[in-house]
A and B are shown apart, each in its own frame.
Chain A
Amino acid sequence: MTNEEIKDKIKVILISVLKHENFVIEDSLTAKDVEGWDSLSHMIIITEIEKCFEIKFKLKELNKMNNMGDLITLIQTKIEQQ
């Protein structure tokens, strides 16, 4: 799966959870930049991403993520490992 395909799928998930499109998916994007992406919605978003890509995260992996670029890399790695 290419990075662009991953980005498209993440965008769909974010729109469905946050109910708005006021963000641009780019590597430097952080949760703080997106309205409504807080600790509550974060776990819903993570669960939806796990379902969508059929992967499982570890808490330590999530703790080390700093931005969207890290999330995409982690998803890519998980998909390749399968």
Chain B
Amino acid sequence: MIFNSVDFAIFFTVFFALYWLIGRIGLKWQNLFLLAGSYFFYCWWDWRFLSLIIGSSLLNYFIGLYIADESKSEKSRNILYYLGLAQGIGGLLYFKYFNFFITSFVSAFSLFNIHLNIHTLNLILPLGISFYTFRNISYILDIDSGKVEPSKDWVVYFSYIAFFPTLLSGPIDRAKPFIPQLENKRNFNYLQAVDGLRQILWGLFKKIVIADNCASSADIIINRYEIWSNSSTLIAGAFFFTIQLYADFSGYSDMAIGISKLLGFNVTKNFNFPYFSQSIVEYWRKWHMSLTSWVTEYVFTPLSFTLRQYGKLGLIIAILANFTIVGIWHGANWNFILFGIIHGMYFIPSILRGTMNTNKSITTYKLIPTFREFINILITFLIVVLTNVVFRTDNLHIAFDYYKRIIYNNPFSFPELVNPKVAVISTFIFLILEWIGRENEYAIQKTGLNWNKILRYAFYYCILLSILFFSGNEQEFIYFKF
């Protein structure tokens, strides 16, 4: 039941009507219905791991109450605090990384001609585990550091963990801004709902027209990368994947945020037009913001604080650890680890020069950037495109071979693309709309609001028609597997 499916449209229409109807009876009933709807949504995907969400919510709910209770002994509170963290981290390590550790361990020994006979487990990754586990962990950490009070209503806490619009792929909302929204009565706000619908429309366009079409072009090139004789085709493959990745994930985020708005919730922003960044440092402030801010707060800050006596070296170690975690969060393979380390290394020159914060972003939102801004954006984007080869390819051998072919193949010829028209033209229009609307929460948030009504609706219909007529081959959201 992905957002862009008929199943979901039927589910959400019924849910939406009942949700606001039940809201008239009382907040408690509305939250209970939201929780039931979230569990139903999850079970539609895979009912087997519902007990894992319920179990981890239950455990962390009680741990939250216990560690905030000052009448309890310091020692017992500490034990439960670490138990909560161990459950979250342990669950992730087991389901997501256990087999990776086993195979890496066996491979390492085989280098010394020692052949271990350890078998991997036949594990299925519970959907959304990376996202709801991060919510549980930050909740415990925030209570311990005094940033939030524990929730006293189990329905509120369970709904926070299982909130279906963001359950499977984020954004990863923190307890501090989200739980009060569950605790207070929500009133249907027409303007917020219209804004939500507009954001869903834009998300659908990004996913169905841009991401799915770019996916076809990227897959043709990357899956059979050996057959292309010039490097421009290989770079085009990485380019299409880069656009696909952004349109897919930010499209999903737009739909999740839009659906949340229809239910009266404000969910944290996940993207801020990252491909218009002028440096990699700026890029990471604007890409998957809910994850990067999470890792920054709970990994980078404590680590860099501990290492602060080592000056810039301490910062470099902390940033490399930070990005290794960002990389491996995506999944258990060496490509993601290398992807994270490479991005961490991009920060090193800026840290050494002390210039990581002096690169101004385009704050005035001019239509035409200066030549220097344009070059900065282009170079940053090219770095992102090339690094995404590691992210997209199946293993390191293929990634290195792909790079080798980019370097040694003929660079001076036009990319050999198969049926690229829809992908190229729609990407071009997409990037222009994104550029024009980049000061807003999402690109078309304010587009046409001061136009004639007919013109404005014509614009929305154009987007709708392009979704109907230029859809690519339906693909699952990339971030579902993370």
Contacts and interface: CB of A to CB of B under 8 A. Distances in A.
B360 A35 contact: yes
Contacts of A59: 301-302, 305-306
A35 B361 CA distance: 10
A20 B359 CA distance: 12
A20 to B, nearest CB: 8
Contacts of A50: 308
A28 interface: no
B146 A64 contact: yes
B300 A44 contact: no
Contacts of A20: 358
Given A18-B357, A41-B356, A43-B301, A63 B308 contact: no
A47 interface: yes
Given A19-B358, A36-B358, A38-B285, A43 B305 contact: yes
A40 interface: yes
B27 interface: no
Contacts of B421: none
Chain A binding surface, main DSSP class: helix
Interface in B286-312: 296-297, 300-302, 304-306, 308-309, 311
B191 to A, nearest CB: 26
Contacts of B300: 39
B152 interface: no
Contacts, number: 54
B172 interface: no
B315 interface: yes
A9 to B, nearest CB: 18
Interface string A14-46: 000111100000000000000111111111101
A40 B281 CA distance: 10
Contacts of A40: 281, 315, 319, 347, 351, 356-357
Interface residues of A, number: 22
A17 B306 CA distance: 20
A39 B357 contact: no
A50 B308 CA distance: 10
B456 interface: no
A41 B357 contact: yes
Contact of A38 (B305, B306, B318, B357): B357
Contacts of A47: 308-309, 311
Contacts of B315: 40, 43-44
B356 A63 contact: no
A74 B347 CA distance: 31
Interface string B314-357: 01001100000000000000000000000000010001001011
Interface in B257-306: 281, 285, 296-297, 300-302, 304-306
Report which residue of A39, A42, A47 has the largest number of chain B beta carbons within 10 angstroms of its beta carbon.
A39
B445 to A, nearest CB: 21
Interface string A45-77: 011001000000001101110000000000000
Contacts of A37: 357
B145 interface: yes
B147 interface: yes
Contact of B305 (A19, A36, A46): A46
A63 B297 CA distance: 9
B147 A36 contact: no
Contact of A63 (B147, B351, B360): B147
Contacts of A44: 315
B357 A36 contact: yes
B305 to A, nearest CB: 5
B308 A43 contact: yes
Contacts of B360: 35
Nearest to A63: B145
Contacts of A43: 301, 304-305, 308, 315, 318
A82 B469 CA distance: 72
A59 B300 CA distance: 12
20 contacts: A18-B357, A35-B357, A36-B357, A37-B357, A38-B285, A39-B296, A39-B297, A39-B300, A40-B319, A40-B347, A43-B304, A43-B315, A46-B308, A47-B309, A59-B305, A59-B306, A60-B145, A62-B305, A63-B146, A63-B147
Given A43-B308, A64-B146, 10 more contacts: A36-B357, A39-B296, A39-B301, A41-B356, A41-B357, A44-B315, A46-B308, A47-B311, A59-B306, A63-B147
